[in-house]
Chain A
Amino acid sequence: MTTRLLALAAAGILLSCSARAADMAIGFTVDAVTLDPGNYRARDTETLLRLMYDGMTTHGPGMKVVPELASRWQQRDSLTYDFTLRKDAKWHDGSAVVADDVVFTFTRLMTPGAINGQTSPRKDLLGPLKSVQKLDENTVRFVLDKPWPVFPTMLTFQEVIPKAFAEKVGAAGLATQENGSGPFRLLEWRRGEQLVLQRVGSGCIDHLIVKILPENASRVAALLAGDVDIVNELPVDSIRQVEANSNTKVAAVNGTRSFFVALNNTKPPFNDVRVRQAANYALNKQLIIDRILRGRATALNGVLSPDTFGFDASLPAYGYDVAKAKALLAAAGHSDGIDVTLDTDGAGKDMAEAVATLLTQAGIRTKVAVGEGTQVRAKWLTKGTREGDMWLSSWGNGSLDPIDIFDPTLHTGGRGNSSGYSNPEVDRLLDAADTETDQEKRLDEYKQAQMLVNRDAPWIFLWLPQDIYGVSARLTGFTPSPDGRLNLQDACVK
């Protein structure tokens, strides 16, 4: 009897060890907060929801905005866009995606109090969208309040939901159930542990299991153990280990988050442009990129990443030049150097210490002050007290359009303008570019604004880190995307 039990146990263990050939798993850092595409704001939730739900548009190769549920769109005038839906688009329950679904989705997002008396946290991602109307069964018209050239781009952030399903299950049902039109349907959501998805239609993999692994070491261990085929946010410290393993490799792509040190432009010593320029010359950022970020970042000389519309590769670079930094400091009346504090949260502590050490060597004697993230952010928000000298900060730009990063961080009074920078000419150029529908003119306006910002140096321009993934060697058909999406339609495991 005991032998039989042991044999059964061994069989059970072996059975649960064997991987099913057509299944693949992902080690992902955070669980979705909800499955309701209208009731969240976290980017990680968006990444997971996008496996199940489609949008009107999405990012194609090279981050080009392409139709997804739509087959095409037409801009009637600067305020009006007509979208035609794909005729073959179906919800997972088999019903067709129709104009009523799109109208319902966007009305729910735009209308205050539409979700059980609460307003969608995604409302302001729709900018000046005024109305959405059904023209016929397959055509929808979006009308804006004012010109907003990034509208098709911003639609990539919204997932469309089926009206009938949403009305049937309500907000509570949408939060835990799914009926999307994306490549995977939900089989099981074990909160905090895993999402089990099934491929819809033809595809190489049958099941996709998203395992929630917040701890870096565990995520890497899962990859090395062959437990998962992709891990996101691979720590740079683990790159060598993953590369050394014959069953795993590293895949990376430029991210969308620009890093910088916000200098307080509203008070001494950084209210003097020479001191700000000195700080830029004083920092050997290439050394940090090479040694700490293991080369997995691109040095920036402005706010925009190389993949963003309007990026100007010809911006003058602030090369590492201690003599020049000291000369600029002396010209500004600081021949003995300056004493300043660099604010950071716990996550940025190591990097802040590296930056501080290098600045100190060039006469900008920098102390690092580590605070709790929320408190530090509150101190440096536009409406905050802005008493600090420097803040190690960053800004994400998922749309890869300047409107989503340039305006908030560098326009006078912008909601993320932590440095208090203000240049009326930059404001004028940004205001013009925001509503300019002629893309050539718009490009030129952003280039001019970048040149002014580069000269004014409101920040120490730092870098754009790569998004790094660990992937198994048996996986094919997966290329990381700068927007963080997991495009697994063509993924295959051998």
Chain B
Amino acid sequence: MILRRLLHLIPVLLGVTVITFLMMSATPGDPAEIMLAGQNASAEQVASLRHDMGLDQPAAARFVHFIGHALEGDFGQSLFQRRPVVSVIGERLPATIELSVAALVMSLLVAIPLGVLAGVNQHGIVDRLATIGSLLGVSMPGFWFGILLLILFAVRLRWLPVSGEIDFSALPPHVTGLLLIDAMLAGSWRSFVDALRHLVLPAITLSLPMAAVLTAVVRASMQEVLRRPFVSFARAKGVPEWRVLIRHALRNALLPAISVAALETGSLLGGNMIVETVFGWPGLGRLVVESIFQRNYPLVQVAVLLYAVTYVLINLAADLLYMALNPRVRL
């Protein structure tokens, strides 16, 4: 079953490749002009660069060339960095993974307990605060919230650093590229703390909208489940209240939250760009947006493919989790 779902990836990836290629081809703007325009290049230089970039070939030929090489594992050269796309993306990927996972964990750690408390104490103070908090969290632009955190915690209080992933003097030896893990592998407490300090503000900023949505979903779902007959039955049987809440109610209330979390994790990928810009975080989101403005076709193409694969896999993981929590569901 899982294999069948994975096989579905093939038409998805093909579709994404075609659509991305068509959209990039239809977008006005020439990467060679963009690369040289700021420096007032001659027509000959532009022509030479277009040739080097393969842009003097018809779009169909470029597409066939890309697909042919991609199947052999060669995704081409980034037009601006003039290095293999896979290397350029690979360098930025760990930072994005680390930030996204941190934001996801943070969202879940906040949203589940808060949603449960709000659901259980309907119309209570926690419920009201959670509702207002959710509304604010969804409405507040990440860009503005990030700057606010930065001014408070980095400029005024100076508790946390303004930007980057780590202080260079605390850099652990490179193993995975995920700094927290590398710091643990190296047994360096200082590196771990430094990486964590750098991670706090970007992760909070990125997690805010997701935490807000999830809190609202868990709260509503919890309230609904608590009204179900099996909950009353469990209580009537004399099952302790904490057991009713955790074992019976929460387990069911989490089902819609899983679907929403999977969708929201997809939007984390988009939200990364803003957070990475505000906090100078060296991730993939910023690179992709810069590449779109530069019409760096090969890089955007591969990054979109990567996003598509990630999105499909996250949804598959969510379905598997859904199945584990609700055995009636089969893939």
Contact partner, A218, options B91, B92, B162, B197, Cβ 8 Å: B162
Selecting from B36-44, B221-229, B259-267, the interface stretch reads B36-44
Does B82 lie within 8 Å of A222, measured CB to CB? no
- In the complex, A391 Cα to B38 Cα: how many Å? 16
Does B189 lie within 8 Å of A212, measured CB to CB? no
Q: Decide if A448 is an interface residue (CB 8 Å cutoff).
A: no
Q: What's the nearest-Cβ distance from chain A to residue B74, in Å? A: 14
Contact partner, A188, options B33, B162, B171, Cβ 8 Å: B171
Does A194 lie within 8 Å of B164, measured CB to CB? yes
Q: Given contacts A124-B45, A193-B165, is CB(A227)–CB(B36) below 8 Å?
A: no
Q: Decide if A16 is an interface residue (CB 8 Å cutoff).
A: yes
Among B163, B169, B282, residue most surrounded by chain A Cβ atoms (within 10 Å): B163
Q: Decide if B28 is an interface residue (CB 8 Å cutoff).
A: yes
Kindly list chain B residues whose C-beta atoms are within 8 Å of the C-beta of A12. 189-190, 193-194
Does B164 lie within 8 Å of A15, measured CB to CB? no
Kindly list chain A residues whose C-beta atoms are within 8 Å of the C-beta of B45. 121, 123-124
Does A8 lie within 8 Å of B189, measured CB to CB? yes
Q: Given contacts A377-B33, A396-B40, A415-B42, is CB(A225)–CB(B193) below 8 Å?
A: no
CB closest chain-B residue, reference A115: B82
Kindly list chain A residues whose C-beta atoms are within 8 Å of the C-beta of B162. 213, 218, 221-222, 225, 227
Kindly list chain B residues whose C-beta atoms are within 8 Å of the C-beta of A225. 154-155, 158, 162
Does B40 lie within 8 Å of A395, measured CB to CB? yes
Q: Decide if B220 is an interface residue (CB 8 Å cutoff).
A: no
Does A192 lie within 8 Å of B35, measured CB to CB? no
Does B28 lie within 8 Å of A375, measured CB to CB? yes
Kindly list chain A residues whose C-beta atoms are within 8 Å of the C-beta of B287. 192
Q: What's the nearest-Cβ distance from chain A to residue B65, in Å? A: 15
- In the complex, A301 Cα to B164 Cα: how many Å? 44
Selecting from B206-214, B234-242, B273-281, B322-330, the interface stretch reads B273-281
Q: Decide if A41 is an interface residue (CB 8 Å cutoff).
A: yes
Does B40 lie within 8 Å of A221, measured CB to CB? no
Does A112 lie within 8 Å of B82, measured CB to CB? no
Q: What's the nearest-Cβ distance from chain A to residue B241, in Å? A: 31
B22-73 residues with Cβ-Cβ distance < 8 A to A are 28-30, 33-45, 48-49, 52
What are the 9 A-B residue pairs with the smallest beta carbon separation, nearest first? Answer: A374-B29, A192-B282, A193-B282, A12-B193, A124-B45, A118-B52, A222-B162, A196-B168, A124-B42
A residues near B, CB below 8 A? Answer: 8-9, 12-13, 15-17, 20, 27, 33-34, 36, 39-43, 112, 115, 117-119, 121, 123-125, 171-172, 175-176, 187-188, 190-194, 196, 207, 209, 211-215, 217-218, 221-222, 224-227, 372-375, 377-378, 381, 395-396, 404, 408, 415-416
B residues near A, CB below 8 A? Answer: 28-30, 33-45, 48-49, 52, 80-83, 88, 91-92, 95, 147, 150-151, 154-155, 158, 161-165, 167-171, 189-190, 193-194, 197, 276-283, 286-287, 293, 295
